[in-house]
């Protein structure tokens, strides 16, 4: 009876219980982390109860407003980033002292790099970017919302379900030890019968479906919801990169979902997709995984490129140089991304001809990427660059460090060289070198840039700049030593080593990781201090950086309906043109009622049922898995019958808010770029002279 109720879940699966019964250091570390979950949960509940925030919280969770959904994605990612960074620091500290054995057991270390990698890619970088896309894209194209607001909330729910599963694995059972790539046969049932791999499959499977739907949603939004005059070649670059990423999501997520399903079938039903016997073939998994995996790296980098494009033109107060070439390069990369996946396993037995072909294809990608770098440099050239702002520090860090990462990528793209360094710390250095200065800097800079749009006030530049420097310096100290270490032969994913020659550089790298931990702390402090001081940082008029694209043509925070009257666009950088003409805030004659969709529990319910489905599958609680699945199906059908509820905001109300905003904008004096980071910045930009 109990067995059918709880499947293979028992008391000992709960890490804390294990620690209690049989204490040791390994478990102490894990259980410390495990304890954080119930404690954090209880704390959160008490806090919400104390602040009486239940109602507003529910209002957020059921919201279909793209800005709120974006913010929720971002908050989710910050929480997950915390775990990722803690694990990273733990691994680095262990390796720093791991000559002839560190303090972590190998199984624990394996779990750490697996959760770190999986978590960072799927639950930090992707939701962060999707969050930014949610916040910015509909505003940039002059739309009231995305094409399918309810679907958007479902995507969020599914991502949340995946996040729940990877997080709960800390407390109940354990996560996979197969690396973020989770290759069989190691992850097959024979070697790994436990719940870990099943957590990986369910977490990735569910959130993968969510991401696919996000891709569909934004591709359609960008194709169909652009405002009058917003031709393709007038779209801001962030929107272009969001489009490219959406297309990649649509076509690259299915291989991953398929791989998850197949591995699941092998494990649950004894199929033979990837087994060693009976005609299974593990290479099939590896091919599927990287058919997703390589486009994935462009899913992660392209929106960051988009942010950098916006930043370089806004913070240089210049039109973006080479707009057309950046657009072309972006789309070019998106296409090439599908033809290089094999470079992730040059050493796994293909013929030299195949390797050469994929090596050349890989090298080709560096051309459009290089084009972009030169375009950004040319944009900055002779501009009114504000080095005292946080986004510019990230931008500079990006330009210098990302290029280095690209160079090491060129080395790896050459199969003969790759044979020497694959699976070594050289590779770890390479991908962190593109992912941290590229994706992460893009994300952090983007948050800083659009923060006023989300919350109505700026982040403090003082803390922001310290944070940006800490990430940059911390990155260099942590990861540069890994290049020589890799060349010296130190492999990745090793818990300890016996060659004393590694020690000095390992110590440097460990120290650097502490700086990265500090950088995360400062990120939080930046948020915290800015929230405390928000009164001085408000930018109600909505254009704190002298922006050029449509999102800045709205008040901060942005009203639910985005634009009182949808703007008409007659050029690229339309808002900038309007400001130059001097009629950006001119009164508007005619307002109309605005219909916006009401909140819905749909996404929330699907998310919760997703958690149930995943958890049930992991622990063989079949009633829970089947029940959740059927309930999800029923929910979808019921919602097909429920009337679509809409909320109408009367024209008079829209007029009142909008006229106030326009009047305030006309009556305020505004600040030039010199005073941009002072309290005088109320979100109205006054033109200043561009030198040169």
Does position 331 interact with another protein (CB under 8 A)? The reply is no
Q: Which stretch binds ligand HEM (CB under 6 A): 117-125, 208-216, 452-460, 589-597?
A: 117-125
Q: Which residues pair with 649 in a beta bridge?
A: 594
Residue 113's binding partner, choosing from ligand HEM, another protein, Cu ion, none, with beta-carbon cut-off 5 to 8 A by kind? ligand HEM
Does position 448 interact with Cu ion (CB under 5 A)? The reply is no
Q: Which stretch binds ligand HEM (CB under 6 A): 175-183, 224-232, 458-466, 528-536?
A: 175-183
Residue 254's binding partner, choosing from another protein, ligand HEM, Cu ion, none, with beta-carbon cut-off 5 to 8 A by kind? another protein
Output the CA–CA distances (angstroms, integers) from residue 645 to 55, 69, 600, 648, in the order listed: 20, 18, 9, 10
Output 92 or 673, the one with its CB closest to ligand HEM: 92
Binding pattern to ligand HEM, positions 461-500, x when CB under 6 A?
A: -----------------x-------------xx-------
Please state, in angstroms and rounded to a whole number, the distance separating the CA atoms of residues 82 and 69.
20
- Minimum CB separation of residue 560 from another protein in Å reads 12
Does position 351 interact with another protein (CB under 8 A)? The reply is no
Q: Which stretch binds ligand HEM (CB under 6 A): 112-120, 151-159, 203-211, 446-454?
A: 112-120
Contacts of 114 (CB under 8 A, 6+ apart): 175, 176, 177, 178, 179, 180, 182, 200
Which one of residues 34, 143, 445, 516 is an interface residue with another protein (CB under 8 A)? 143
Does position 430 interact with Cu ion (CB under 5 A)? The reply is no
Please state, in angstroms and rounded to a whole number, the distance separating the CA atoms of residues 128 and 132.
6
The interface with ligand HEM within residues 522-581 (CB under 6 A) comprises none
- Minimum CB separation of residue 204 from another protein in Å reads 15
Q: Which of 495, 374, 503, 483 is nearest to 424 (CA)?
A: 483
Please state, in angstroms and rounded to a whole number, the distance separating the CA atoms of residues 309 and 549.
12
Three-state SS sequence of 596-663:
EECCCCHHHHHHHHHHHHHHHHHCCCHHHHHHHHHHHHHHHHHHHHCCCCEEEECHHHHHHHHHHHHH
Does position 116 interact with ligand HEM (CB under 6 A)? The reply is yes
Q: Which stretch binds ligand HEM (CB under 6 A): 109-117, 289-297, 306-314, 346-354?
A: 109-117
The CA angle 323-326-332, to the nearest 5 degrees, is: 140
Please state, in angstroms and rounded to a whole number, the distance separating the CA atoms of residues 297 and 125.
10
Which one of residues 7, 70, 157, 179 is an interface residue with ligand HEM (CB under 6 A)? 179
Q: Which stretch binds another protein (CB under 8 A): 20-28, 40-48, 261-269, 413-421?
A: 261-269
Output 227 or 325, the one with its CB closest to another protein: 227
Output 276 or 536, the one with its CB closest to another protein: 276
Binding pattern to another protein, positions 301-330, x when CB under 8 A?
A: ------------------------------
Does position 596 interact with another protein (CB under 8 A)? The reply is yes
Helices (DSSP H) in 381-424: which residue ranges? 390-397, 403-413, 415-421
Please state, in angstroms and rounded to a whole number, the distance separating the CA atoms of residues 258 and 390.
41
Q: By beta-carbon distance, which residue lies closest to Cu ion?
A: 294
The CA angle 17-19-24, to the nearest 5 degrees, is: 170
**Could you count the other beta carbons within 10 Å of the beta carbon of residue 420?**
14
Handedness of CA 159, 44, 470, 102 (dihedral sign): negative
The interaxial angle of helices 403-413 and 352-380, nearest 10 deg, is: 160
Does position 644 interact with another protein (CB under 8 A)? The reply is yes
Outline where DSSP puts E strands in 224-316: none
Output 518 or 584, the one with its CB closest to ligand HEM: 518
Residue 91's binding partner, choosing from ligand HEM, Cu ion, another protein, none, with beta-carbon cut-off 5 to 8 A by kind? ligand HEM
- Minimum CB separation of residue 278 from another protein in Å reads 5
Rounded to the nearest angstrom, the gap between the alpha carbon of residue 203 and the centroid of all alpha carbons in its chain is 16
312 and 374 Cβ atoms separated by less than 8 Å: no
**3-state SS class at 480:** coil
Does position 91 interact with ligand HEM (CB under 6 A)? The reply is yes
Q: Which residues pair with 172 in a beta bridge?
A: 14
Please state, in angstroms and rounded to a whole number, the distance separating the CA atoms of residues 56 and 44.
14
Does position 294 interact with Cu ion (CB under 5 A)? The reply is yes
Residue 294's binding partner, choosing from Cu ion, another protein, ligand HEM, none, with beta-carbon cut-off 5 to 8 A by kind? Cu ion
Which one of residues 435, 454, 684, 685 is an interface residue with ligand HEM (CB under 6 A)? 435
Which one of residues 319, 581, 595, 663 is an interface residue with another protein (CB under 8 A)? 595
330 and 308 Cβ atoms separated by less than 8 Å: no
Output 325 or 491, the one with its CB closest to ligand HEM: 491
Which one of residues 299, 327, 428, 617 is an interface residue with ligand HEM (CB under 6 A)? 428
Residue 258's binding partner, choosing from ligand HEM, Cu ion, another protein, none, with beta-carbon cut-off 5 to 8 A by kind? another protein
Q: Which stretch binds another protein (CB under 8 A): 122-130, 209-217, 527-535, 681-689?
A: 209-217
Question: b/e per residue, 612-621, with b = 16+ CB within 10 A?
Answer: bbbbbbbbbb
Contacts of 76 (CB under 8 A, 6+ apart): 123, 127, 131, 159, 160, 163
- Minimum CB separation of residue 271 from another protein in Å reads 4
Binding pattern to ligand HEM, positions 180-219, x when CB under 6 A?
A: xx--------------------------------------
Please state, in angstroms and rounded to a whole number, the distance separating the CA atoms of residues 541 and 670.
10
Q: By beta-carbon distance, which residue lies closest to ligand HEM?
A: 117
Please state, in angstroms and rounded to a whole number, the distance separating the CA atoms of residues 144 and 595.
9
178 and 114 Cβ atoms separated by less than 8 Å: yes
Please state, in angstroms and rounded to a whole number, the distance separating the CA atoms of residues 259 and 244.
23
Output 136 or 412, the one with its CB closest to another protein: 136
Please state, in angstroms and rounded to a whole number, the distance separating the CA atoms of residues 185 and 191.
7
Q: Which stretch binds another protein (CB under 8 A): 262-270, 346-354, 371-379, 533-541?
A: 262-270
478 and 425 Cβ atoms separated by less than 8 Å: no
Contacting positions for ligand HEM (CB under 6 A): 85, 88, 91-92, 113-114, 116-117, 120-121, 124-125, 179-181, 428, 432, 435-436, 439-440, 478, 492-493, 513, 516
Contacting positions for another protein (CB under 8 A): 143-145, 147-150, 212-213, 215-217, 219-220, 223-228, 231, 250-251, 253-255, 257-259, 262, 265, 269-273, 275, 277-281, 284, 288, 291, 566, 595-597, 633, 637, 640-641, 644
């Amino acid at each position: 009876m109990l067995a059918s109720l709880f499947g293979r879940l028992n008391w000992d699966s709960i890490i804390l219980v294990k620690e209690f019964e049989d204490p040791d250091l390994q478990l102490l570390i894990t259980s410390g982390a495990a304890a954080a979950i119930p404690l954090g949960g209880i704390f959160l509940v008490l806090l919400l109860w104390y602040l009486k925030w239940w109602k507003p919280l529910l209002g957020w969770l059921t919201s279909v407003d793209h800005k709120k959904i974006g913010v929720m994605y971002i908050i989710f990612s910050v929480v997950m980033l915390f775990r990722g960074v803690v694990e990273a620091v733990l691994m680095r500290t262990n390796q720093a002292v791991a000559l002839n054995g560190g303090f972590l057991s190998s199984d624990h270390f394996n779990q750490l790099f697996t959760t770190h990698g999986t978590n960072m890619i799927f639950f930090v970088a992707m939701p962060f970017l999707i969050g930014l896309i949610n916040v910015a894209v509909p505003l940039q194209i002059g739309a009231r919302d995305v094409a399918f607001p309810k679907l958007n909330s479902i995507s969020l729910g599914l991502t949340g379900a995946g996040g729940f599963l990877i997080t709960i694995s800390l407390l109940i059972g354990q996560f996979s030890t197969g690396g973020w790539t989770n290759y069989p046969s190691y992850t097959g049932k024979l070697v790994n019968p436990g719940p870990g791999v099943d957590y990986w499959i369910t977490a990735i499977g569910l959130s993968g479906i969510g991401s696919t739907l996000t891709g569909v949603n934004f591709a359609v939004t960008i194709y169909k919801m652009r405002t009058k005059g917003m031709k393709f070649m007038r779209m801001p670059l962030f929107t272009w990169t969001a489009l490219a990423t959406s297309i990649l999501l649509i076509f690259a997520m299915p291989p991953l979902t398929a791989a998850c399903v197949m591995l699941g079938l092998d494990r649950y039903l004894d199929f033979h997709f990837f087994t060693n016997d009976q005609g299974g073939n593990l290479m099939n998994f590896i091919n599927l995984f990287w058919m997703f995996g390589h486009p994935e790296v462009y899913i992660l980098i392209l929106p960051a490129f988009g942010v950098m494009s916006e930043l370089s033109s806004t913070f240089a107060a210049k039109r973006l140089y080479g707009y057309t070439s950046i657009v072309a390069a972006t789309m070019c990369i998106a296409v090439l991304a599908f033809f290089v996946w094999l470079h992730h396993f040059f050493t796994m037995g293909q013929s030299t001809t195949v390797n050469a072909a994929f090596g050349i294809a890989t090298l080709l990608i560096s051309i459009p990427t290089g084009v972009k770098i030169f375009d950004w440099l040319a944009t900055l050239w002779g501009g009114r660059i504000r080095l005292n702002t946080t986004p510019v520090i990230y931008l500079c860090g990006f330009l210098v460090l990302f290029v280095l990462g690209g160079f090491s990528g060129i080395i790896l793209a050459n199969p003969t060289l790759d044979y020497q360094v694959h699976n070594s710390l050289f590779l770890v250095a390479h991908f962190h070198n593109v992912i941290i200065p590229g994706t992460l800097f893009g994300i952090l800079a983007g948050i800083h840039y659009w923060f006023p749009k989300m919350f109505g006030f700026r982040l403090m530049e003082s803390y922001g700049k310290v944070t940006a420097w800490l990430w940059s310096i911390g990155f260099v100290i942590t990861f540069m030593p890994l290049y020589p270490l890799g060349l010296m032969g130190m492999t990745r994913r090793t818990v300890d080593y016996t060659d004393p020659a590694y020690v000095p550089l390992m110590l440097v790298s460990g120290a650097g990781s502490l700086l990265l931990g500090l950088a995360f702390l400062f990120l939080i402090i930046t948020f915290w201090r800015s929230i405390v001081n928000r009164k001085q940082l408000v930018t109600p008029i909505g254009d704190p950086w002298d922006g050029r694209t449509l999102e800045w043509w709205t008040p901060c925070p942005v009203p639910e309906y985005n634009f009182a009257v949808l703007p008409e666009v007659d050029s690229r950088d339309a808002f900038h043109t309007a400001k130059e003409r001097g009629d950006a805030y001119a009164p508007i004659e005619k307002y109309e009622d605005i219909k916006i969709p009401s909140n819905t529990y749909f996404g929330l319910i699907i998310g919760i049922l997703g958690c149930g489905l995943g958890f049930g599958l992991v622990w063989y609680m079949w009633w829970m898995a089947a029940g959740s699945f059927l309930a999800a199906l029923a929910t979808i059908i019921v919602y097909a019958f429920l009337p679509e509820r809409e909320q109408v905001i009367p024209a008079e109300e829209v007029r009142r808010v909008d006229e106030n905003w326009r009047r305030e904008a006309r009556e305020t004096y505004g600040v030039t770029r010199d005073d941009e980071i002072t309290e005088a910045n109320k979100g109205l930009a006054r033109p200043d002279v561009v030198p040169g």
